[in-house]
Chain A
Amino acid sequence: MTDAVLDALREIRLPYALYEMDIHRHVMEALQTSGIPFLHEAKLSKGCRIDYLAGSVGIEIKKGKPNEKRLMAQLMRYLDSDALESIIVVGWHSVRIPPVINGKRAEQVALSQLWGVSLP
């Protein structure tokens, strides 16, 4: 499931994310286009909501470059939940996260990097 969600998210070509809601809109469209059911603002535990939950894959949206420590703490909190088997951080910029957190898979999709490094 994680790979299917990753494939869907990697289809996004967002010209530039001025607001976080731009990323939200594109993520929803990408999941819908790929026929992946999802919940928006899914509650994982008390006071713990993740932006999207597609099956057992959590998706957290970040617009800017988040503080690494705070992001890690947030991801660990989310991954404590049994509802998640993996998590994907989607942002305009890349973030540095380890491939495995709490024994669960952690991935990132940097939307800027989906455009590539050279002209088409």
Chain B
Amino acid sequence: MNKPHDLPPYLRIDGAQADGEQTYGTLSYNRRSNCWVIKADPNVTELCKRLFPGTVSHRRGEARFTAHRRLIADMNWLMMRYPLIIAERDQKRWAEALEQAREYVRKRQAALRTPARIKPDQASFLGTLTAFQEEGLAFLLRTDRCLLADEMGLGKTVQTLALLSHLKAYPAIVIAPAHLISNWESEINRFVQKAGGEPLTVHAIKGLKPYTLPQADIYLMHYLLLRGWKQYLADAGIETVIFDEIQELRHSGTEKYSAASLLADQGGRVIGLSGTPIYNRGAEIWNVVNILDFHFLGNYESFTREWCYGYGNQIVAKPELLGDYLRREGIMLRRTKQDVLYDLPPKRRLVMTIESNHAIYQKLMEPIAEKLDQLRSDGELSGSKRSVLKMEIEQGERQATGIAKAPFVAQFVRALLEGGEKVLLFAHHHQVMDRYQKDLHSFSPAFITGRETQKQKETSLERFMSGKTDLCCISLRSASGLNLQQATCVVFGELDWSPAVHSQAEDRAHRMGQKDSILCYYLVSKGGSDQDMQDALGLKVSQFTALMGDQVKSQDEILQESQYAQRYVEQLVRRLLDDRMNME
């Protein structure tokens, strides 16, 4: 029997010109724009532009391919049909690029043969992995560029540290949100060491201005610093790049995104971590995947044309197919708690309509009404001014909704606290937080709202986790990555526009190690912005669920969950009322 080839046919032979063969044009490398340029008969360049939508150049008879191993393979395939003369000065570069593309494919083929579960290297990894985490480690080893999208609380950090200890591909860099940097530092010290038992050297990069980096095994940096270090890091010889909470890169067109993309280009191994890689529309996944593996989903325009409802549209038409494709190609792995943690107590949700102070709402809406009138009557407003006005109106209404229901939210939370619950209270606006602080000050709440210093945040965390307070008020978007398993109830005093933010918030409490079931209350009012926000959230849940392949809950399950949460509140209120009456 013939030995199977380790390469697909389009990479087995060099697509460049052979002696005496007809050629159709030339291939050369453009240093300034880091791309390969085909100058050929128009029928060839036209074909390039049709077949490879990522091809740039509006010039007739010219097609430019970004120098990337995925596109090198495409070009080689093209040249098997239309041989090109490679410019003499670029022949060595082409040969090297082609070899890199081959090496990449060889590694991928070999990776498919790795075992389904791998135990971490005991000499350098100080923890133990559960069976599903060992599968996660095998997945991370199998592919150089991938997204570990396990639901929050399943130990993505520990699986990544097991990978680092296994590969020892240092220096590595972890890019994470600012509030998670110290957590990474302590987790590295806890789980990874050098084979000889020495601790790894870790350096947390500070400031926007680059300086000579001290030698370290692992560098830590938060996303907001990326833009300052854009050029420096791209040449720093980083072997492994880890983007924690990679949903931070779900929007392109920012300096942060561009710096991340340069860094990812030069890193040998690039891993994205996130339980919620998209926050809103399905098309955000393109930006995330493009950081990990350039043009894996084609260019953005062709992606929206093929996968969404047309050019520039962001709603993925068949998200379940896209999710299947990402999993099948081995670029994404996702497990949910339901899949792997059979004994984790359940999380129960209830969307509850509560009262809201209509007079306060109306008063707060007065200045907003003026803005609405301005928007309606002033036809000469520029596009950007209209956008700003619309944003202010949206923010204003949302804040008015939050403030108008704040006293009732505080009342609800008070009942939970008096009933002995440990509560995480989420909101968005500082003004709403201020109301909670005023109404609930007797419970000495801890705050993590974006107004505190890093040290104050850590103190807040410690106060809640050590039981010094039973209430922690947290800004909706400050929650990712925090471990607050002490909580028994999660209350949303305001809604966010993204269901993933809600999920992130719920999962601060609902994690491995949680002993009791978690009750999550979404307190919405009939008036204001809450109804519209719920409409928008629904669409986003449907996109996410299908794309990530999560199981959709039936109406029966939803009903059971909400009935349980509802019953619990009713019992609690009854008990507290009885207690008060007995005291009187």
Contact = CB atoms under 8 A, between A and B. Distances in A.
Asked whether A and B interact, the reply is yes
19 contacts: A11-B554, A13-B552, A15-B542, A94-B531, A110-B534, A112-B535, A112-B538, A112-B539, A112-B542, A114-B538, A115-B542, A116-B538, A117-B502, A117-B522, A117-B537, A118-B499, A118-B537, A119-B276, A119-B499
A-B pairs, 4 with minimum CB distance? A112-B538, A118-B502, A115-B541, A115-B538
Contacts of A117: 349, 351, 495, 499, 502, 522, 534, 537-538, 541
The main secondary structure of chain B at its interface with chain A is helix
A111 B535 CA distance: 8
Contact of A120 (B309, B351, B545): B545
Nearest to A17: B539
A117 to B, nearest CB: 5
Contacts of B272: none
Contacts of B258: none
Interface string A92-120: 11101000000000000011111111111
Contacts of B544: 119
Given A119-B503, A120-B551, 6 more contacts: A10-B555, A15-B546, A93-B532, A115-B537, A116-B349, A117-B538
B520 A118 contact: yes
Nearest to A117: B537
A26 to B, nearest CB: 13
Contacts of B536: 112
B550 interface: yes
Interface string B301-315: 000000001000001
A120 B534 contact: no
A84 to B, nearest CB: 25
Contacts of B553: 116, 120
A13 B537 CA distance: 14
A18 interface: yes
A118 B545 contact: no
B539 A16 contact: yes
Interface residues of A, number: 23
Given A15-B546, A110-B535, A110-B538, A116 B555 contact: no
A118 B535 contact: no
A115 B70 CA distance: 38
Interface of B: 276, 309, 315, 319, 336, 349, 351, 495, 499-500, 502-503, 506, 520, 522, 531-532, 534-539, 541-546, 550-555, 558
A116 B503 contact: no
Nearest to A114: B538
A73 B227 CA distance: 56
A18 to B, nearest CB: 7
B322 to A, nearest CB: 12
A93 B535 CA distance: 6
B538 A119 contact: no
B545 A119 contact: yes
A11 B554 CA distance: 7
Contacts of A10: 555
A7 B544 CA distance: 25
Nearest to A10: B555
A86 B522 CA distance: 29
A120 B550 contact: yes
Nearest to A92: B535
Given A15-B546, A120-B550, A120-B551, A113 B309 contact: no
Contacts of A7: 555
Contacts of B309: 18
Given A116-B499, A117-B534, A118-B349, A13 B550 contact: no
Interface in A79-94: 92-94
B175 to A, nearest CB: 24
